[in-house]
Structure 1
Amino acid sequence: MTAQVQSQTSYDVIVVGSGAGAMTSALFAADQGLSVLIVEKSDKYGGTSAISGGGIWIPNNHYFAEKGGKDSFELALQYLKAATGEHGDEVRLRAYLNNAPQMIHALETNSRVRYAVAEKYPDYYQQLPGSLPGGRSLDPELFDTSLLGDELDNLRKPSPSTLLMGCIAWTARHAHKVMSREFGWRLLILGLMVRYKLDFKWRRKSKIDRRASLGSSLVASLRRSLMDRNVPLWLNTDFRELLTEQGRVTGVRVQQGGKELELHARRGVIFGSGGFEQNQELREKYLPQPTRREWSATPPGNNTGAALEAGMALGAATSLLDWAWWAPTIAVPGEDKPRGVFAERAFPGAIVVNGLGRRFVNEAAPYLEFVDAMYRDNQSSGGKSTPAWVIFDGHFRFHYAMGPLMPAQVAPDSRLRKAWLNSVYWKADSLAELAGQIGVDADGLESTVQTVNEYARTGVDVEFGRGGNVFDRYYGDSNVKPNPCLAPLKKGPYYAMRLDAGDIGTKGGLLTNEHAQVVSEDGQPIPGLYAIGNCSASVMGTSYPGAGGTLGPAMTFGYIAANHIAGNP
């Protein structure tokens, strides 16, 4: 529903934001007989969730159990306590682990949301007790967007990097099979292409696949489920401040069509509006330096910290404001936001170096830890790790993707946009020449490549252990021996691409309790105010336990908030 002043201005629940967590909370509130309104600042719904992988990390889920997988509350709690350490709150962790399996089971039973277990996707910290080599991350199934009708026009479009060839929908399970070059990967691509090509009627309407995948599938299926319940979603409705009476939050003031409007919430307001990564002033105030909003892979103009500032104005406590869901990014001219580099760093034959030409991290490490290492090395190297540089050779270029560059066997250099040379990628016949182009120490780079080439021969990365655990190997090339994440760099031309210290959202925000209620500095709940997702301080502390560690808690605490508001904790 496009923004226009409606006659109804009072609801039981008002949800600010339209990402996966926000829409999940609205859905469960509506299912308990509450009247719900969703207000969204942008002209599109879905937020960062719509351009994400859409995965959710749900320990002890029924999908895994149905396939014979072994998991338990106790095992997951052991893992999370080890991962979160001093930043973990056991009460909130227990609330998450108790409710997450119930949340996804209820969604599958009562909505159009459909998931499948990614059996091979490992938890990120394989060295910690309680970790599993797969089964806790769930991957959205494809969703037919024609079911949205006109509402499809208002869905935030997926990033080109999440679609095969920029237009064909595929699941994370499909992508893994192709990226790791497992048996049958070529046939899989052929099948996806044929399915897309034969959908003649839809392709006359749109170049983008009829089927949504990943985060787009999740958001589209949630929106269709809300349409089934006649839950209104107002776009172009900018939250400005909270309304209160005698210390209780009673509604919100919004701006819509150039006018201010007061909306009243009889039972509660749920913030699900994202973090503050698009607010440069707040970034400079809280995040490690250097920091730029242009490095963030989230939608520009959104996630500016309005919920954080409104909560703080009421005396809300905060936590983890100096952390983000870090992910290295590559800027592409003409695109409104950079692209996150998630899987490609594990492919054999690419290394990442600082300005001294030295490696400083296991390239295949989880993305949060990767950028954290960039900042730590930046301090010890005198500012030489922001940016960092990914280096690869002609063999890698032919066989593998990196950021916006598809493998050269599909998209050779001659087919790349001319503006990308010396902006997206740099190219030279020798490592020394390449180092000169990007301002990296040439001797350091030559020495590093020689060392890594020896690691590739032996299969053992003595410095950082790349490829030494099941998570690293998840996106490695299963055909490369002895280590699927290591290959020599020895075939020119050589390539470089710039990696910035990016993010997929901030991690800190309003502190909440086990019911998703925002709490004040003295630990007491602020009546009528709830926060979920990136506008709240993450239950995961400074850790990122597995794929879907952002959306899983956002949706789960949305479920918890709806139940608490309805008097059904």
Structure 2
Amino acid sequence: MSTASTRRDVPAGTSIPYASGEPAAALRDGDTLDVLVVGGGGAGLSAAVFAAIAGLRTAVIERTEYVGGTTAYTAGTTWVPGTRHAAGVGAQDSKAEARRFLDAAIGAHAPTDLREALLDLGPEAVAVMEAGSKVDYVARPLHPDYLTQLPGARLAGRALEPLTFDGAVLGDRLALVRPPLPEFTAFNGMSIERDDIGHLAGAHPTEESRRHLLALRRNYRDAVREHGCDARRTMGNALIARLLHSLDEAGVPVLTRSEVTSVERDGDAWSVVVNEDGVELTLTVSHLIFGSGGFNRDPRRRAALLPGHSMQWCPGAPGHTGQAHGIIDALGGRYGTAAFSHTFYAPVSTRRRADGSWAVFPHFVMDRAKPHMIVVDQNGHRYLNEATSYHLFGNQMLMHDHEDPGAATPSFLITDATGMRKYGLGMVRPFQRERQLREYLEDGYLVRADSLEDLADQLGVPAGALRETVERSNGPAARGEDPDFHRGMNEYQRFNGDPASETGAPNIAPVEGAPYFAVRIYPGDIGAATGFVTDAAAAVLGPDGERLGGVFAVGNDMQSVMGGTYPAPGITIGPGLVFAYAAVRDIIGGPLPGAETLVPTPGW
């Protein structure tokens, strides 16, 4: 089958170079490829790197002007149990324990053979990636699973982070990497990593933080003068830059502003038409790997799967419009149906930027899990544990809306003067002076009041109910307790709190002491969980359960191995990596070069 295409004649041998800089590799009309990767996000680029390691003729097609997708916006955390990095932080783990954890978290929401493949191939995938590319990972001594109350959960060793990367080695190619969200940078554009956040948030002695931040700022200014942007790339941005550098060195063409417009069966291969800025090429492709980012910005699929859910609440990158899904549909692919939820969630707040675009800020860990914070609905009532994982938080907002239509959207994240000073609120950083808050107050993002009654009036909630809620919470909170919703119930929640809390409870302290502040929060969708049904090698299955023949789906294009649950950090990027590896391993019929570097983990 094929999708609609307007084909114009292209002379044989016409070349489409990279979108910026000198082309290190190019595609020509009539080229034959072993693998064409559709989508240049984290999973797609990982698939292309694995294909290059395997010696396969490979190219990447990306619709937007940047590579990186939503991965470039994230912390880049990659959840893969059983790697050599676990031993490096002293983590005691086993496949049986990881399996027990996933079984308890996921249940019947996803097939067991997918999670078995994740556990079997994960350590090998990481070993091959590190041996054959520029990607390097590190584990932290404390980086817990989210559902640490479940059997088999661990506090460290499973979540990996990409090392910071000097993007200057990419030269002009650095411009292809999707920039980080401005709201997650410092000093108007400087990339930050997890260790920098502690200095920005006042978690270290003042003089130590001052020296650290001065050095960062000096290096940032030097990079801007030399390269026009921050060359130091961190977290998810570092992961994408490392993947791109790996592909450049392997001579793999990466075409931006490009899309696949037609796919037709041609014997044992596929005839694929690619359009890049109005130029069309026909390629003969043995295997297609789709990693286009999921359905979230496809209006039709969004209306069907997330009815009433505004696109304005989605903090993801702009590329996942569903265009590639139309191609897989035409080829016979089908969406899964058993997921706990169709997408992964986080509470978000929104604000219009100076350039007219909308900033969508996910409230992951910086504020709501800290002391001096509560969340209330439009009736002025608490209805959830503010410190729960962001996915469960978003789901509970939706459940509350279902039980009391409209009560949770928006909800209000409220803090007092101490909470604002120490932790900030959403896009408002901690330790801001009153004059620095003015722009947030003037555009309505931040609400400030000298009394709870005034705050209630500005938010449009019943003043008596809000005061009663705060007083009900404050009494136990002064003792470090939360009998209603049990904040701090597990190690993950306590990890995201403040160990220096005056109550002794990392997540709990009273909300008292004017002025009071609030932001409006919404259930934001951060990535698709519902995608195309595949087997354990990421091969797309048709209605009859048979493979489509050389068509694979990875990342958020694939029905989630987690079944729409979110048991740990990095459970989209980690499986994106592992199933990209599974697909290429399946194509070549065995382990990739570098698999021999795998150091077996005891219990694996």
Going from structure 1 to structure 2, the CA distance change for 1:157 and 1:189 (only over 3 Å counts) comes to farther
How far apart in 2 are the matches of 1:297 and 1:437?
26
Q: Which residue of 2 aligns with 1:236?
A: 257
Going from structure 1 to structure 2, the CA distance change for 1:186 and 1:20 (only over 3 Å counts) comes to farther
Moved more, 546-555 or 422-431: 422-431
How far off is 1:112 after superposition? 1.2
SS in 2 for 1:262: strand
Alignment gaps of 5+ in structure 1: none
Q: Is the 8 A contact 1:299 1:337 kept in 2?
A: no
Q: Which residue of 1 aligns with 2:180?
A: 158
Q: Is the 8 A contact 2:139 2:159 kept in 1?
A: yes
Indicate yes or no: 2:64 matched with 1:48: no
Kindly provide the amino acid, as one letter, of the partner of residue 160 in structure 1: P
How far apart in 1 are the matches of 2:253 and 2:443?
47
- Superposed, 1:20-35 pairs within 5 Å as 20-35=42-57
Q: Is the 8 A contact 2:345 2:527 kept in 1?
A: yes
Q: Is the 8 A contact 2:89 2:156 kept in 1?
A: no
Q: Is the 8 A contact 2:80 2:574 kept in 1?
A: yes
Q: Deviations over 1:368-413 (max 9, x none)?
A: 1111000000011221111111111111111112221011x2x223
- Counting matched residue pairs gives 562
Q: Deviations over 1:83-136 (max 9, x none)?
A: 101113111101011111111122222211121102211101111110012221
Indicate yes or no: 2:407 matched with 1:384: yes
Q: Which residue of 2 aligns with 1:203?
A: 224
Compute the TM-score of the two structures, normalised by the length of structure 1: 0.94
- Superposed, 1:203-352 pairs within 5 Å as 203-205=224-226, 208-245=229-266, 250-266=270-286, 268-287=287-306, 289-300=307-318, 302-320=319-337, 323-334=342-353, 335-343=357-365, 344-352=367-375
Q: Which residue of 1 aligns with 2:420?
A: 397
SS in 1 for 2:518: strand
How far apart in 1 are the matches of 2:52 and 2:372?
51
1:414 corresponds, among 429, 435, 444, to 435
Kindly provide the amino acid, as one letter, of the partner of residue 311 in structure 2: R
Q: Deviations over 1:531-554 (max 9, x none)?
A: 000111100012112111110000
How far off is 1:306 after superposition? 2.1
Moved more, 546-555 or 1-10: 1-10
Q: Which residue of 1 aligns with 2:81?
A: 59
- Superposed, 1:2-13 pairs within 5 Å as 2=19, 6-7=28-29, 9-13=31-35
How far off is 1:421 after superposition? 3.0
SS in 2 for 1:84: helix
How far apart in 2 are the matches of 1:372 and 1:189?
40
How far apart in 1 are the matches of 2:415 and 2:336?
39
Alignment gaps of 5+ in structure 2: 1-17, 21-25, 592-604
Indicate yes or no: 2:561 matched with 1:544: no
Q: Is the 8 A contact 1:15 1:38 kept in 2?
A: yes
Indicate yes or no: 2:137 matched with 1:118: no
SS in 2 for 1:2: coil
Indicate yes or no: 2:552 matched with 1:535: no
How far apart in 1 are the matches of 2:100 and 2:293?
29
Q: Is the 8 A contact 1:17 1:39 kept in 2?
A: yes
How far off is 1:355 after superposition? 0.5
Q: Which residue of 2 aligns with 1:504?
A: 526
Kindly provide the amino acid, as one letter, of the partner of residue 297 in structure 1: P
How far off is 1:259 after superposition? 4.2
Q: Is the 8 A contact 1:118 1:136 kept in 2?
A: no
Kindly provide the amino acid, as one letter, of the partner of residue 393 in structure 1: D
1:194 corresponds, among 190, 195, 215, to 215
How far off is 1:209 after superposition? 3.3
1:18 corresponds, among 23, 26, 40, to 40
Moved more, 193-202 or 78-87: 193-202
How far off is 1:435 after superposition? 1.3
Going from structure 1 to structure 2, the CA distance change for 1:7 and 1:136 (only over 3 Å counts) comes to same
Q: What CA RMSD, in Å, does the superposition of the two structures yield over aligned residues?
A: 2.1
Q: Which residue of 2 aligns with 1:454?
A: 475
How far apart in 2 are the matches of 1:479 and 1:308?
48
How far off is 1:251 after superposition? 4.4
Kindly provide the amino acid, as one letter, of the partner of residue 158 in structure 1: P
SS in 1 for 2:448: strand
How far apart in 1 are the matches of 2:440 and 2:482?
36
Going from structure 1 to structure 2, the CA distance change for 1:272 and 1:66 (only over 3 Å counts) comes to same
How far apart in 2 are the matches of 1:364 and 1:357?
18
How far off is 1:525 after superposition? 1.2
Kindly provide the amino acid, as one letter, of the partner of residue 303 in structure 1: H
Going from structure 1 to structure 2, the CA distance change for 1:507 and 1:440 (only over 3 Å counts) comes to same
Q: Is the 8 A contact 1:518 1:526 kept in 2?
A: yes
How far apart in 2 are the matches of 1:139 and 1:353?
34
Kindly provide the amino acid, as one letter, of the partner of residue 250 in structure 1: W
Going from structure 1 to structure 2, the CA distance change for 1:184 and 1:207 (only over 3 Å counts) comes to farther
Q: Which residue of 1 aligns with 2:5?
A: none
Moved more, 256-265 or 102-111: 256-265
Q: Is the 8 A contact 1:362 1:466 kept in 2?
A: yes
SS in 1 for 2:444: coil
How far apart in 2 are the matches of 1:185 and 1:62?
36
Compute the TM-score of the two structures, normalised by the length of structure 2: 0.89
Kindly provide the amino acid, as one letter, of the partner of residue 367 in structure 1: Y
Q: Deviations over 1:193-236 (max 9, x none)?
A: 31431566423135753210011000001100111101110011
Going from structure 1 to structure 2, the CA distance change for 1:244 and 1:337 (only over 3 Å counts) comes to farther
Going from structure 1 to structure 2, the CA distance change for 1:172 and 1:419 (only over 3 Å counts) comes to closer
How far apart in 2 are the matches of 1:442 and 1:197?
48
Going from structure 1 to structure 2, the CA distance change for 1:229 and 1:259 (only over 3 Å counts) comes to closer
Kindly provide the amino acid, as one letter, of the partner of residue 304 in structure 1: T
Q: Which residue of 1 aligns with 2:7?
A: none
Indicate yes or no: 2:377 matched with 1:354: yes
Q: Is the 8 A contact 1:272 1:531 kept in 2?
A: yes
Q: Which residue of 2 aligns with 1:93?
A: 115
Moved more, 203-212 or 82-91: 203-212
Q: Is the 8 A contact 2:347 2:521 kept in 1?
A: yes
